[in-house]
Amino acid sequence: MGECRCRFCGALLTRTFADLGMSPPSNAYLDEGGLHRMEPYYPLHARVCDTCWLVQVEAFESPEAIFGDYAYFSSYSESWLRHAQAYSQAMIARFGLGAKSSVVEIASNDGYLLQYFRQAGVPVLGIEPARNIATVAEQKGIRTLCQFFGTATARQLVADGQQVDLLLGNNVLAHVPDLNDFVAGLKILLRPQGVITLEFPHLLRLIADNQFDTIYHEHFSYFSLLTVEQVLIQHGLSLFDVEELPTHGGSLRIFARHAEMTFPQTSDHVERIKAGERAAGLDHPRTYDAFAERVCESKRAFLECLIGIKRAGKNIVGYGAAAKGNTLLNYCGIGRDFIEYVADRSPYKQGRFLPGSHLPIVAPDKIAETRPDYVLILPWNLQNEIIEQMNYISQWGGRFMVPIPTVRMLP
């Protein structure tokens, strides 16, 4: 087996962060015919770089294979739509965006966010590699370029006269195998006075809240602010502000500008969060070594809970055919012997099957029909939204189960 090197700094990777065994790609949903064919399984082994502290998994499939026809539509989450609308309103107010401005979103999905800028009269462009999702955005009137973003796309847009006042990417930085090419493209496309915002799950929260199920093949990298700042500096960009967000179990929204610019001024939030990361040991190997054992213990506790429920004659179904759920199920070896099916609101996923576990994906109406004893919420980051939507399960004594940070029953 060949050596692994850091996708940012090139250092040799020797330290394990979490070894989740062999797993199929988490968004490789199957049709019925696929149940009888061999699935590709790859090592799901997250390592940490001892030089720059970037946590990462190896890239086994090309971005085209993973994201060319994608199953995740952002607009199916009401809380995520509210998050997007609040963001657009805040950015318009903070940076004075209007009819003469330009907003470009990388990995713009189905237009879930850009629609709010467009409604406010701000010109927008989405860049989205998944053709099936880009088509939905176009149908909403969101001009969308169906490409992967990097230096080549950035140069093409600049040559076409595109300059960007606000360049944003929500939950895309983690999905980029060629991290340096992606960030270099941001530098190229940004107008001299322009601003970049990027949102991504915060490594500090992943460790503190035991969010090992957010590790999967489509998430190539896991970032601390300490590491992201190094990446930006390497490519001539400067971090000037950061916000902590509740989304995806705890995320950061970073603000960056060209390094040669002095405005906007740097907020003291930047140093505060970096100091918190240092205090939590994100610049020390022992923090990463301890997490690896914690993951193993979580698997044992989760399986003990499920075994107890099944031996008591109770039944369990899942809710949310999320990628993080597939990591959890495959790492723990859970299939139909424990869970009968998984319900999901997305028509694109209904009628298909989860990779690895082969659990059938059904419409949420099935839960009211079958009246399960337990509903396992796989996208635990949306647990409040899901519990509110499905509180009717209490009518027959049903309870919710949440697996992260430790398995627990609600209410």
In the chain (411 residues long), the average pLDDT of successive 10-residue segments reads 88 97 94 94 97 96 62 71 96 98 97 96 96 93 96 98 96 95 98 98 98 95 98 98 94 98 95 98 96 95 98 98 96 97 95 98 98 98 94 97 96 87
Instruction: Report the alpha-carbon angle 66-282-105, nearest 5.
Output: 40
Q: Is residue 1 part of a domain?
A: no
Burial class (CB in 10 A: 0-12, 13-18, 19+), 343: buried
Same domain, residue pair 144 and 259: yes
Residue 248 lies in a domain: yes
Inter-residue contact 336 to 306 (CB < 8 Å): no
- Does residue 32 lie in a domain region? no
Per-residue CA distances from 10 to 51, 150, 344 (Å): 9, 19, 40
| Residue 288 falls in which region: left (phi positive, over 0), alpha (psi -120 to 50) or beta | alpha
Residues 117 and 174 in one domain: yes
262 and 330 belong to one structural domain? no
User: How many CA atoms lie less than 13 Å away from 135 in the CB half-sphere?
Assistant: 6
Q: What is the pLDDT of residue 63?
A: 64
- The verdict on 323 and 255 lying in the same domain is no
pLDDT of amino acid 53 = 98
Q: Which of 229, 250, 282 is the last residue of a domain?
A: 282
Roughly how many angstroms between the first and final C-alpha of the chain, as a whole number?
Answer: 47
**40 in a domain, yes or no?**
no
Residue 136 domain flag: yes
- β-pairing verdict for 316-319 and 374-377: parallel
Alpha carbon 1 to chain centroid, angstroms: 28
If asked whether residues 271 and 346 sit together in one domain, one would say no
Q: Count structural domains, the chain.
A: 2
319 and 251 co-located in one domain? no
Q: What's the pTM value of the predicted model, to 2 decimals?
A: 0.92
* CATH number where 152 lies: 3.40.50.150
pLDDT at 401: 98
**Same-domain status, 94 and 191:** yes
Distance (Å, whole) CA 342 – CA 333: 16
- The predicted structure's pLDDT at residue 64: 63
Does residue 35 fall inside a structural domain? Answer: no
Q: Which residues pair with 244 in a beta bridge?
A: 252
136 with 221, same domain: the answer is: yes
CATH number at residue 390: 3.40.50.720
Q: Which domain holds residue 158?
A: 67-282
- Token pair belonging to 40: 């590709």
Question: Is residue 260 classed exposed, middle or buried when 0-12, 13-18 and 19+ CB atoms within 10 A define those classes?
Answer: exposed
Residues 328 and 211 in one domain: no
